[in-house]
Structure formats: C-alpha cells, structure tokens
C-alpha cells in the first residue's frame, strides 16, 4: 500500500506540475495533553512543532502519536490526514464530533494512514485512508451511505473490530466487503471474517481464526481415544497410515485397526470403513511404539469425515506422537497431532505418575514402591510411571527429592512431609529417612540399590 501511495503522489505531481502536492517533512507529534487535555487541534496538547507551525486539521501531513493512557480526545471539525500524514494510536479514544469525519475526497488522491492498537476511533466516516486495526483496536463508524469512502481497512488482530452504527450487516456485505482485508488477505465471510447485526440497526465486523487445511490426529487425554479427521476442504485418498511413539505411548491391544474390523467382509471386517479392500496390520502384536496398517487398494476419507482408531494412546507427560499418511498420488502427508481433553485440559505434569491430571498423594506410592529399582529396560512412559523423574534409568534419591519439590510446589510448602508422615508405613518411614540423610549429608554419590531399611 505504501508503494501505491507513492505512485499516486508521483502521478499527482506530474498532472499538476508539482504545485498540488504539499511536501511532507516527516514531523512526529506526540500527545501530552498539556493544553486542555482534550482537543486534537490544540497545539499545546502535543509535543513537537507541526509542518507550517500550527495544526491545520484540513491538511495533516505529519504523524500524530497517541501512546499514553488518556481520556477522550475530540475534534469538532474534520481531520484530514494527507499523503505522508497519519495517526498512530495505541491508547485512549479519539472522537470526531458534530457529524465530521477523518479524511477528505480530492483529485488527485492524497492517501493518509491510521494505525490503531489498544485504542478506539469514533467518526462519521473515513475518506482516502489506509487503516490498520491491531490488537484491541475498535473503529466505530456512525455514518450511513458510504462511511468507508475510498479507503482500505486491514484487520490484523483477532481482538480488533469495526462497529457500523448506521449500516446493517446486509449493507456492509454489499457495499463495504471489498474495502476490508484480514491479515492482509481478501475477506471471506464465515472463513476469516464475521459480519453480524448488532441488534440496533448496525453491524459488527470481526476477524475469525482460520484453521489451515490439514489432516489431524485428535488424541483425547481423558480416554486415550485417537481419531483421524480430514479438515483439508476436500476428499483425501491414502493406502497406509503410520503412528509412531518413541516414548512408548501406544497400546496395540486397545487399537481399533481397519484390518479385520471395518474393512472388506472377505477379510473379516464389516465393510463400514472400506467395503472394497482388505487391510493388513504392519505393527507387531502388543506394539508400544508404532501402529501401522495398509492396503493394496485405497481409502477415501471425505472432508470433515473421521476415522476412529480406538483408545490406543497411553496418557502420560509424553505428547510426542508423529503420524503420516501414504497418499495414492505417491506423496506422504504429515498429520497434525492435536491433544484434547474435557477433564485433563493440559499436558500431564512430570511427577503425575498415575496420569490422572494432578500431582497428589496417589502418586507417592508409585515412586515409593520402586525406590532404588532399575527401570533402564523400560520404555520412557513406563519408567516415568514407576517414578523415574530425571530419566536416569533408576528410581533413586534424586527422583525422591524432585518429587518432593514438585509436590510442595503444587500443594504448598511442607505438603509432602505432612502427607508422607500422615500414615507412617514402614516403607514410607524408610524413604523419608533416606531422603533426610541425603539432604543433611549432601551426598556426592548415589545410594546403591543395596541400601535398605528393615521394619
């Protein structure tokens, strides 16, 4: 847009011999409110000296900055930002009163600019302006007919919005839609832009979050259920899928494969997913690190269609699944893995050994019963569930101290000591004593598995 503005200035200079365009000197004025603290046109409210020595609201060729918390700045006349001039507003409110607006129409065009973030501009109309609405910006337009006149408004943040007070949503869609851009792209109602009635004869315009086209593997933290979802906007055909977990987060026993389940009846399936083809499982029985199957035919998954794969994910802090589709066109598609949950909303914390979504007294016995045991032969998911917090391959005093720290950080200082001493079983007393010895002696070497405590 800056290039377009410069081109328009050049054409204007050629058409009128350079006499119609006033040079912009790049002066920046910053709002201080040192005058009456309210009037835009009062020079005492600004620091800096504008081009020409005074604020000429009909020919603003400088940059006016409002960046401090302030009340409502007002102007009882139209303020016209010309080429080279503009408003940068990141605080407060600017209201143009008495039915006036921002900008003027003239030939040739002289395009000014307005950039708003965390501020509000209320005006009758915009004319010959490039407007950018960032975070927290609100543009209120009270005029009817053509309140966005020869102007472009880019909405560049999800929290920005435009409120038309005298234009219905139907009018906005028919008359103004082509004057908007959303994150620099053309607006598509229902995709990246929302236009709705405000209930009072006006309309609200706001951006929408655009989900990039993709195939997703949705993983439910609560149940471990895995669902393949096609969100590409069209059908997708593939002959194989692979799901990989280096940490051992998969459970083949809980997997619902297509093979011999929902494939062709001739292969033992019910035909509900792929009635024409037989599928073959590539994963070994009981696999914890990969789930894969394929066919010599193909499966077409329609847009928005889902493929249920069973409760085959083991809930743990390890959210590291990777998935791919082998497409019939010979390419491979990386699948976006998304973890969801209604009860367990966030990733499982390290130290939540039973993976119920919280560190609690229920986790302590799992570490206690494995203290000084080697877990080096276990997969990472199982080693963590046994109490190995630091990944050393042994559940030792360091894991004990780490768990105590995590427990107190979650439930408050001293919470672990109170919990552990509440019902002092012999083994828990032993562990507390070992931990105390570790703290008091600041041991420089690890205790060996032969360390024991007799009851």
Residue length of the chain: 455
Tell me if the pTM is above 0.95: no
User: Computed from CA positions of residues 138, 140, 145, 151, in that sequence, does the dihedral angle turn out positive or negative?
Assistant: negative
- Taking the C-alpha atoms of residue 354 and residue 385, their distance in angstroms, rounded to an integer, is 7
- DSSP conformation letters of 294-317: EEEEEEEE-TT-EEE-BS-BPPSS
Nearest to 37 by CA among 65, 70, 77: 70
- Taking the C-alpha atoms of residue 432 and residue 128, their distance in angstroms, rounded to an integer, is 75
Q: What is the mean pLDDT of the chain?
A: 88
Q: Which two tokens stand for residue 239?
A: 């002959």
- Asked whether residue 199 carries a pLDDT value surpassing 70, the answer given is yes
Helix (H, G, I), strand (E, B) or coil at 340: strand
Q: Determine whether 408 is exposed, middle or buried from the number of CB atoms within 10 Å of its CB (0-12, 13-18, 19+).
A: middle
Nearest to 288 by CA among 368, 223, 383, 202: 383
Nearest to 81 by CA among 53, 114, 106, 116: 114
- Asked whether residue 258 carries a pLDDT value surpassing 90, the answer given is yes
Phi then psi dihedrals of residue 74, to 5 deg: -125, 155
Q: Which of 89-103, 253-267, 376-390, 430-444 bottoms out in mean pLDDT, i.e. has the lowest?
A: 430-444
Which residue bears the tokens 């696999």? 287
- Class of domain 214-340 (CATH, top level): mainly beta
- Asked whether residue 433 carries a pLDDT value surpassing 80, the answer given is no
210 confidence band (pLDDT: 50, 70, 90): confident
Chain-centroid distance, C-alpha 148: 31
Q: What is the pLDDT of residues 388-425, one digit of tens each?
A: 999 999 999 999 999 999 999 999 999 999 998 874 44
Residues 98 and 121: beta-carbon distance below 8 Å: no
Residues 350 and 406: beta-carbon distance below 8 Å: yes
Domain parsing of the chain, residue ranges:
2-207, 214-340, 364-441
CB < 8 Å & 24+ apart, contacts of 399-404: 399/367, 400/367, 400/371, 400/431, 400/434, 400/435, 400/438, 401/435, 401/438, 401/439, 402/351, 403/351, 403/363, 403/364, 403/367, 404/435
Q: What is the pLDDT of residues 299-345, one digit of tens each?
A: 999 999 999 999 999 999 999 999 999 999 999 999 999 999 988 98
- Taking the C-alpha atoms of residue 248 and residue 291, their distance in angstroms, rounded to an integer, is 11
Percent of the chain at pLDDT exceeding 70:
87
69 confidence band (pLDDT: 50, 70, 90): confident
DSSP code for 70: -
């Amino acid at each position: 847009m800056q290039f377009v503005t410069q081109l328009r200035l050049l054409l204007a200079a050629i058409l009128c011999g350079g006499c119609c365009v006033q040079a912009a000197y790049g002066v920046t004025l910053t709002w201080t409110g040192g005058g009456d603290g309210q009037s835009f046109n009062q020079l005492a409210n600004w620091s800096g000296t504008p081009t020409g020595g005074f604020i000429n609201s009909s020919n603003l060729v400088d940059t006016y900055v409002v960046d401090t918390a302030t009340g409502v700045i007002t102007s009882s006349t139209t303020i016209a930002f010309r080429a080279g001039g503009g408003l940068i507003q990141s605080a407060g409110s600017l209201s143009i009163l008495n039915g006036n607006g921002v900008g003027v129409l003239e030939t040739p065009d002289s395009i000014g600019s307005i950039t708003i973030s965390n501020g509000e501009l209320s005006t009758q109309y915009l004319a010959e302006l490039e407007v950018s609405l960032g975070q927290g910006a609100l543009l209120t337009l009270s005029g009817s007919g053509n309140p966005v006149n020869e102007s472009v408004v880019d909405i560049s943040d999800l929290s920005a919005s435009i409120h038309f007070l005298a234009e219905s949503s139907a009018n906005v869609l028919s008359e103004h839609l082509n004057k908007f851009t959303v994150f620099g792209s053309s607006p598509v109602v229902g995709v990246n832009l929302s236009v709705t009635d405000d209930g009072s004869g006006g309309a609200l315009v706001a951006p929408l979050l655009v989900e990039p086209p993709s195939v997703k593997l949705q993983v439910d933290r609560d149940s471990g259920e895995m669902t393949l979802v096609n969100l590409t906007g069209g059908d997708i055909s593939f002959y194989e899928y692979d799901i990989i977990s280096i940490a051992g987060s998969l459970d083949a026993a809980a997997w619902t494969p297509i093979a011999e389940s929902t494939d062709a009846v001739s292969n033992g399936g019910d035909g509900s997913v792929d009635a024409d083809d037989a599928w073959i499982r590539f994963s070994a029985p009981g696999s914890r690190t990969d789930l894969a199957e394929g066919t010599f035919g193909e499966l077409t998954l329609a847009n928005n269609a889902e493929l249920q794969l069973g409760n085959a994910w083991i809930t743990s802090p390890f959210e590291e699944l990777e998935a791919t589709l082998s497409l019939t066109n010979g390419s491979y598609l990386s699948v976006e893995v998304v973890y969801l949950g209604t009860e367990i909303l966030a990733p499982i914390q390290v130290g939540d050994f039973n993976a119920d979504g919280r560190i609690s007294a229920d986790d302590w016995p799992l570490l206690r019963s494995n203290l000084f045991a080697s877990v080096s032969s276990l997969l990472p998911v199982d080693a963590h569930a046994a109490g190995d917090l630091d990944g050393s391959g042994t559940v030792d005093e360091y894991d004990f101290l780490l768990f105590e720290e995590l427990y107190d950080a979650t439930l408050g200082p001293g919470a672990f000591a109170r919990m552990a001493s509440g019902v002092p079983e012999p083994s828990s007393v032993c562990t507390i004593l070992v931990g105390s010895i570790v703290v008091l002696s600041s041991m420089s070497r690890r205790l060996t598995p032969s360390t024991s405590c007799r009851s």
